[in-house]
């Protein structure tokens, strides 16, 4: 797996953002990584970006800076931390920073409710996931604070499709699991019989699909030079991943993401669904 030496943590001071802090701290300590906290102050414009700002942008930025400078001081004590407050569109500011700096990992909630335009909303997270080319860690997409039971990251579930593109993901997952001292399990989804007319598919056919998929995944494991347990479930990809994560008490779900090209397999088209439905944090690589 790639080395994680620089983590970017966008903050908006919401409960969701604050709840992610222990996870960022834990990840930074395990990898001896530097953390950049970035807060984006969003100016309000009359009539869109072409209009005049409703409030002096400098006043907005001046309000964000001291709050950021004094945030989470005890939490990040002993770690290498940089703090940056900027004006602009939150998603653009985050992606531009990642592109211009040697960032190895972005960690952020799936949505937030902070005072500065509530910028950690699903749309911003989705854009970051789409535009950056580094792994992105997201909290479970729930209204509750992140469950600290997952901090230890003892169990990792890696969702894979049946394409050769999953080989590198398996290797990445194996490297992360070794680094964290965690157990690793793979999960793969096949269509359930409910998704097909009865005349086309029956229980026996579903069983055949499962067996064929399991053999394919095991062949990919050999190519990746790993040997771990494989779970093959029937149903939609997000539902199967969620059920296996709950059944096996996963602390982290690892998925691949990228351009939605046919050669990358059907798993990639379900990345957002997996993130929304996972009962624990998701790391997208």
Mean pLDDT of the 65-81 span: 95
Mean pLDDT of the 67-86 span: 95
Q: What is the pLDDT of residue 76?
A: 97
Q: Is the model more confident about 135 or about 62? A: 135
Banded pLDDT at 194 (limits 50, 70, 90): low
Measure the CA–CA gap between 228 and 75, rounded to whole angstroms: 35
Which residue ranges form the domains of the chain, and what is each CATH number? 6-140 (3.40.50.620), 149-284 (3.40.50.620)
Measure the CA–CA gap between 248 and 232, rounded to whole angstroms: 13
Backbone angles phi, psi at 155, to 5 degrees: -130, 125
Q: Quickly count helices (H) and strands (E) in the chain.
A: 8, 10
Measure the CA–CA gap between 237 and 254, rounded to whole angstroms: 13
pTM, two decimal places: 0.85
DSSP state of 45: B
**How many percent of the chain have pLDDT more than 90?**
53
Q: What is the pLDDT of residue 57?
A: 66
Banded pLDDT at 50 (limits 50, 70, 90): low
pLDDT 10s digits, 195-251: 555 545 567 777 888 889 999 999 999 999 999 999 999 899 999 999 999 999 999
């Amino acid at each position: 797996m790639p080395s994680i030496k620089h983590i970017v943590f966008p903050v908006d001071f919401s409960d969701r953002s604050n709840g992610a802090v222990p996870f960022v701290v834990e990840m930074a300590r395990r990898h001896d990584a530097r953390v950049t906290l970035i807060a984006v102050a969003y100016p309000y414009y009359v009539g869109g970006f072409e209009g005049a700002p409703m409030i002096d942008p400098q006043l907005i930025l001046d309000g964000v800076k001291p709050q950021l400078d004094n945030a989470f001081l005890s939490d990040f004590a002993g770690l290498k931390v940089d703090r940056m407050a900027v004006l602009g569109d939150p998603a653009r500011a985050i992606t531009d920073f990642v592109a211009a700096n040697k960032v190895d990992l972005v960690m952020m909630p799936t949505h937030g409710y902070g005072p500065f335009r509530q910028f950690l909303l699903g749309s911003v997270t989705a854009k970051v996931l789409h535009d950056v080319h580094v792994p992105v860690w997201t909290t479970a997409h729930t209204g509750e604070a992140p469950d600290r039971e997952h901090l230890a990251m003892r169990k990792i579930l890696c969702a894979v499709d049946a394409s050769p593109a999953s080989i590198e993901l398996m290797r990445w997952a194996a490297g992360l699991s070794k680094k964290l001292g965690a157990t690793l399990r793979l999960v793969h989804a096949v269509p359930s019989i409910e998704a097909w007319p009865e005349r086309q598919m029956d229980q026996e056919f579903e069983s055949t699909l499962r067996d064929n998929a399991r053999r394919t995944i095991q062949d990919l494991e050999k190519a990746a030079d790993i040997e771990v347990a494989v779970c093959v479930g029937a149903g939609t990809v997000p539902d199967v991943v969620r059920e296996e994560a709950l059944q096996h008490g996963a602390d982290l779900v690892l998925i691949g993401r990228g351009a939605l090209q046919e050669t990358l397999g059907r798993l990639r088209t379900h990345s957002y669904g997996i993130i929304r439905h996972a009962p624990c944090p998701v790391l997208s690589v």
